[in-house]
Structure 1
Amino acid sequence: MRPLFLSLVPALVAAAPAAAQPGSLDQVSAHLRGISTMTADFVQTDRTGKALSGTLTLRQPGKIRFQYQQGVPLLIVGDGKALTMIDYSVKQVSRWPVGNSPLSVLIDPRKDMSRFAHIVPSAIPGTVAVEARDPKHPEFGTITILFARGGGPGGLVLQGWTVLDAQNGRATVRLSNQRFGVPISDKAFIWNDPRPRGPRK
């Protein structure tokens, strides 16, 4: 399976996360700004229905980690400026700058979401949805992020997102067991470089 985050980066892997129903973009911003730390389980599904699972770890400002299930030799780590994907099967390390892509909402929620995101209708009762894209780089694709009302910072809980890339490839991530304000060590964002250079941040 092609990692979702290859489509997500730089489209707005995003991530990372924004969402809302009509009139609630400010609520989404408040939610994102209210997250100090978050952990969650995720399931990533591609257009063929193939699924991979893993855990997401987030600590503001800018720290994020996508740890895939055992047996999947991939790791995604964000430092606030870029996302690094480590493929241990081929000993390859790739980096994508976050820049001004929508992913920067998750990495730096202080940014003005209204420049690249807007509210879209949600078919799921009790949820809010935001669609985001970089207007200067439509080739990066579009991400739609879904939140449930109630429970988390700002009265929202991130439920997941769907990425549609420029080739109409679709990948979806769904979250569960979201926990906010949990202690997260710096060690969570250290990764072992498969090249002969040792641990890196």
Structure 2
Amino acid sequence: MKKIFATFLLAACAGGAWAGGMESLESFVKTVKSGRADFTQTVTAPPRDGQPGRAKTSTGTFEFQRPGKFKFDYQKPFAQSIVADGKTLWLYDADLNQVTQRAQSQALGSTPAALIAAAPDLRALQADFALEGAPERDGLQWVKATPKTKDGQLQSVQVGFEGDALAALEILDSFGQRSVLKFSKVQVNPALGAGAFAFKAPAGADVIKQ
């Protein structure tokens, strides 16, 4: 009987900890309408022939304004930008001097960006993702989000919170590639200018519409 009670108690405690991630996500979506942070992203290829996958690290800054506006500015090792202005998603590669333009409504539904910036509330997120609390680790509370549509390139995303503050994203794509973003110097609800998410293709850049 003691063993059964102990097992039940551990399960209850774990369930409470896992629920904390969902509570953090709900609070984040409800109360954080804009944000700014630095990020470090590490992308690891899937292992091949018994060898571990190679990892590549990049750094930059991130801003968002709910609903549907965000900007990733990659600074190292290569300059790139991903900008969503509410209607159009722009991808700019400085080395290639190339811009890719897509309709935002067709590009964001079941993506990590939707978890951070696109959805106006938790119900909207649940329309595109199956959400569940995940075990606490690295001092963070986690939520696992699995896209409900199976035809995309995203397998799952885990969102890590420190309290109600966004701290990390772990993204697994359908090819087995893992991308981990860690956020620092997070600012909650900063005032962002009207032109913060405006994008204009640089002079001479090739613009590809998809």
> How far apart are residue 21 of structure 1 and its match?
2.6
Q: What are the superposed Cα offsets for residues 119-171 of structure 1, whole Å, 9 maximum, x if unpaired?
A: 2423426532112232222542211111111xxxxxx0101101111110111
Percent pairwise identity? 24
Offset at residue 56 of structure 1 (A): 0.5
Give me the whole-angstrom Cα distance separating, in 2, the residues matched to 1:41 and 1:161.
Answer: 13
Q: Does 1:62 align with 2:68?
A: yes
Q: Provide, for residues 58-112 of structure 1, a one-character-per-residue CA deviation record: whole Å limited to 9, x for no partner.
A: 1222211111116622101112345321112222222453353254342123243
Q: Alpha-carbon deviations, 1:174-201, whole Å to 9, x = none?
A: 001111121211222122303658xxxx
In the superposition, relative to structure 1, how do residues 37 and 129 fare at CA in structure 2: closer, same or farther (>3 Å)? Answer: same
Q: Is 1:107 the counterpart of 2:118 in the alignment?
A: yes
User: Match for residue 144 of structure 1?
Assistant: 158
Matches of 1:99 and 1:169 in 2, distance apart? Answer: 19
Q: Secondary structure at the match of 1:29?
A: helix
Once residues 30 and 82 of structure 1 are traced to their aligned partners in structure 2, the CA distance between those partners, rounded to angstroms, is: 27
Counterparts in 2 of 1:120-159, with a 5 A limit?
120-124=133-137, 126-141=139-154, 142-149=156-163, 156-159=164-167
Distance 1:114 1:43 in 2: 27
SS at structure 1 position matched to 2:148: coil
Is the 8 Å Cα contact of residues 133 and 140 (structure 1) preserved in structure 2?
A: no
Larger fraction in helix: 2
Greater strand share, 1 or 2?
2
Q: Secondary structure at the match of 1:31?
A: helix
Given the superposition, is the C-alpha separation of residues 161 and 57 from structure 1 closer, same or farther in structure 2, using an over 3 Å criterion?
A: same
Task: Say if 2:40 and 2:182, in contact at 8 Å, map to a contact too.
Answer: yes
Higher RCO, Cα 8 Å, sep 6+: 1
Are residue 40 (structure 1) and residue 13 (structure 2) matched?
no
Measure the CA separation in 1 of the matches of 2:201 and 2:26: 34
Q: Secondary structure at the match of 1:189?
A: coil
TM-score (norm: length of structure 1): 0.73
Q: Which runs of 5+ in 1 are unaligned?
A: 1-19, 150-155
Moved over 4 A (4+): none
Select the structure of larger CA radius of gyration: 2
Aligned length: 172
CA contact (8 A) 1:129 1:146 kept: yes
The structure-2 alpha-carbon separation of the partners of 1:135 and 1:82, relative to structure 1 and needing over 3 Å to count, comes to farther
Q: Tell me the residue number matched to 2:199.
A: 191
